[in-house]
Amino acid sequence: MSKMKTKKSASKRLSLTGTGKVKYKKMNLRHILTKRSPKRKRQLRATGILSEADARKVRKQMLPYG
């Protein structure tokens, strides 16, 4: 049986923590930032943690060797 391929688009956008949680960068911080409050922009800088239901699917299908 051949090796499973990692989805390269997922590997560039997602990463795994040491405990197996899936990290991602939050959206809406690219342009048109003048209408957003400083608190919102500050919260968007932090990395997000994927919910466990979605993380299971990502680890199995997109990042099999992650």
What pLDDT is stored for residue 66 in this prediction? 81
Residue 60 is given by DSSP the state I
10 confidence band (pLDDT: 50, 70, 90): very high
Q: Which two tokens stand for residue 41?
A: 């922009």
Contact 14, 22 (CB under 8 A): yes
Task: Convert the pLDDT of each residue in 21-66 to its tens digit.
Answer: 999 999 999 999 999 999 999 999 999 999 999 999 999 999 998 8
15 confidence band (pLDDT: 50, 70, 90): very high
Domain 8-62: assigned CATH number? 4.10.410.60
Burial of 50 (0-12, 13-18, 19+ CB in 10 A): middle
1 confidence band (pLDDT: 50, 70, 90): confident
Domains of the chain, residue spans:
8-62
